[in-house]
Structure 1
Amino acid sequence: MMDFSLPAISGTPGWQIDERARAAAIAEHDLEALRDDAALSRITDFAAALCGTPIASVSIVEECHQTFLSRTGLDVRDTPREISFCTHAIQGTDIMVVPDATQDPRFADNPLVTGEPGIRFYAGIPLVREDGLPLGSLCVIDTAPRAGLSDLQRQGLRVLAADVMVRLSDRRTAARSRAALERSEERFRTLADTMPQMVWSTRADGFHDYYNARWYEFTGMPAGSTDGEGWNGMFHPDDQDRAWAAWRHSLETGAPYQIEYRLRRADGAYRWTLGRALPIYNDHGAVVRWFGTCTDIHEQKEASEQREIIAHELSHRIKNIFAVISGLIAFSARANPGFAGIASDLRDRVTALGRAHDFVRPHSAQSRPAVSQSSLHGLLRELFLPYQPTTAPRILVGGEDFEIDDRSATPIALLFHELATNAIKYGALAVDGGEIELTTRRDGARVVMLWRERGGPPVTAPAKSGFGSQLIELSAVRQLGGTVTHDWTNDGLTVEIGIPNPALSRA
């Protein structure tokens, strides 16, 4: 027999395990008969819901592998013991928590971390017999790192682990098993009733057959009155059709259910609520139940709407500031005719900034641009509209599109406004038939934008850089951290601009 005894985990009380005694204890249980036991399935379903994880399991750690007696969100029936997290969990006396397996030297190279199912967070409590021998563990698993468990979740896992041991130990006696099941169901309901959220469950066909006490407390409805399809009558009339459509879609496809709706409170007031539900599958991939929650988000919803109103108002005022500045420049030019040329260039630059701001600012449904407000190509086409004839475009934008944000929109607008203005004065747009092709592509860690002018007059490099060139340098290099190279040829100007990916968008 191979010796899989492990030392106690650092910082966790534990002991050396007598593997021979454990093997004898495990042999006392008919594991095959216990596989996918209905009571154990309910326990893992609830453990996953209680802890908000996609995966939960009851496993027995045997000599060479661990066997899953019950599993939620997991397809495999067993795994080799040498890669089992539960092998470590049974060394302790309480819940073992791994916040981020990729940062834990015990598990960073584990195939269950580097491959499927991509374990990041793990919490497992040993399943210990009365004689002190650990058989396996009840665990919950997430594919994203987490800080840990709440006190309620820890308490719940301890209660559920005790119920697992009752199920394993008392199965031999039918009467005791029925009593244990009743106690388990009672504990299940007690735990659900202590949760701050409204908890509900349905059959596979979507028939609602369970609500926790919080639901009836919030709605003021008599117990059982919202079973079946009665739940939809609790929603605001304007939200009922939408909620039905979303629920039918989830029932037909198995997709997670998530929707925001207004739920009627006991006093008649409607409160914004977030509804969520996940399906529970059997081994054949069929949905056997749905488990869901309702969370009151009324205050958060109102705060979000208020912030959006303020953002719209602030953005509208900023847009007006651009118009005021343009007006002041025009007024100053009329009062000082010698300033007219400079004023015209300055006003065009302010207008370009205003167009960039108007593109990425918060919009209402009526004012939102037709293209995505985070689209580089969308911003460029919007910026080039004043330079395009009505018959056919002379500035063609192509290549791969990229995401931008409000931080990068301003220097991009100034940069390409200067190139387009120079093309009108000296380059391809100064004559009929000239055109410009702007292509964008990814080159490793940066985005390359290539500006090619064709069909214009011959161009030569200027003897010294003017204000426009300095503005291009300021926008591309200093503000975006990129590079700019010019190629002056008889065919026209070619400018290559390289911008680091993170400079375009915070995302």
Structure 2
Amino acid sequence: MPELTQSPLDELAMYRFLLALDDAMRPLLAPQDITQTAAAMLGDFLKVNRCAYAHVDEEFGTFTLTGDYTADVPSIVGRYRSEDFGSEFVRLSQLGITYVVQDAESDPRVADVRPSYRAAQIRAVVSVPVLKAGRFVAGMALHQAEARVWHAQEIKLLELVANRCWESIERSRVTQVSLESEAKFRTIANAMPQMVWSTLADGFHDYFNQQWYDFTGVPQGSTDGAGWNGIFHPDDQNAAWARWRHSLATGETYEIEYRLRHHSGQYRWVLGRALPVHDENGAIVRWMGTCTDIHAQKQAEDDLRNMNARKDEFLAMLAHELRNPLAPIASAAHLLKLVKADPARVEQASDIIARQVRHMTALVDDLLDVSRVTRGLIELEKYPVDLGSLVASAIEQARPLIKSRGHVLNLRMHASDPVVQGDRTRLVQVVANLLNNAAKYTAQGGEITLAVELHGSQARIVVTDTGIGIEDKLLPHVFDLFTQGARTPDRTQGGLGLGLALVKSIVTLHGGTVQAESAGPGKGSRFTIALPVLAEEAAAHEAAAPAALQVRPARLLIVDDNVDAAESLGVLLRAEGHAVRVATDPFQALGMALADPPDLYVLDIGLPNMDGYELSRRLHAQPASADAVFVALTGYGQAHDRVLSKAAGFDHHFVKPLDMARFHAILAGLPQR
């Protein structure tokens, strides 16, 4: 089974790559050179097996692959039918939607063309369509010979490169045609997506195409001569003039980025570029220039820089949050050595360790949760959920923090107690996150109000606080990853800034919306969740709580190369009355199982010499273990890890630390011997 986890793309490296790509493509004129250069640079940068650019003929349903970078796979340059890549690929591409396959061997969308994918050694693919005037005209794809998880930054980079290829090809075509025939120039210039302009040899502007006037909204002819500089942002005018005069004096290519006033009144970033046109004697007779709207690109670059800064802040915060609980855990561990004969002090130290471990577990769970939810790797178990019981459970989770900070919690419920269709556990998590967030950002003795309202076909859960509020510049980004408000000294365990991102993702998966409001710093915040109400005839009451579990003593074998982890779990389970043996080596475990087979195995995955998957297979091969229950206890908790453990014969998969409530449920279900 291939490894599906890879490191995210570094934003700074991505930014530098785009600059290098621009430099490499700028002098190229032939479309084949442009696509080949872009494919080679992108393929090598992302370390894929193949990168290809294709021209599309929708009328004939064909793809013509031109630029094709390969590494350890054959080239597939040539013409293909659109249907060779699958009907779902064609449908999404025609809609302008990126097509992403992480594993063609398991993706049902590829079933009808899987032999073609295998023949081309395509196991994973991401393909970006280029649409112009609503038509699918080109595309660029990354291929991997093995399964691969495509990260959002990789897909975004592919989209940027595909569109730059298209723009570079179009620009080169126009440039070649304009140099060949002055008579065709005006018609072609007006057909271009860019603003085109021309000057005499002395720099006097005598022509602008229609796109210039459409973009700026100025009257025809008003920017001839030197009038064009008045359209620039005041802060950019001197630099633009200086660069233009330098090009006129030296004949060097004119190229500069500046802000140009749009007809809307907004200043937008554009790339101004001009080339000199020489006569047969080499004298400059004219300058041909373009202005390309790069505002979206500049914003994307700013976003990348800001995201990188937020990531650095997040990593610093993660280190801080993980170190905080380690201090009391270490102190409690030392205390246990000193107060062995004092049951009260032992219990106090144990409570400290348990509480801090729960806190660290919650931090790790937040990280894993937000990763799985944002990548669509969770499945919701939807049932009718009445908001009354949901809110009660959320308050129960948040009450310790609210109580510790001396807040007043007001609860206003709608008389009808609305019912929604949803995953109860996830929705409780959402509301508890909002309550905890309100408690963290509200000073001691503040007030929090939770209200359930009914508005037509929507139920709304509204959490309002009297806390520090949200700044205007932060408000649009509060649901983004790695975004947090200012931390105050009293927020010693303030979390990682992932809670609201998780809230938005989960609510969206339920077909709802979430909105943040604040009048500004010091004026509190208001968060509103809106969910569709379930029709009365479909609403059903939630199941009653299960009866207490009866756990009988059982024979257990724990296998973990972490001696402390294995022994401490063994001590705990022996204290509960179970017969527990511990092995720290997989071969030792095989011998122990053969000599005295247990009722249940608890196996770590990351074992030396033989991993837990292989150990599970070998134990299953022993007839004496045929009826035993296999539990994986590991630090690996991604979706594919659970798939691997199931394939290796594990009945249950736990992420460390062991969830004792779930484990007791498994023990309660063991057959009586």
Q: Same fold (TM over 0.5)?
A: no
Q: Given the two structures, how large is their TM-score scaled by the length of structure 1?
A: 0.31
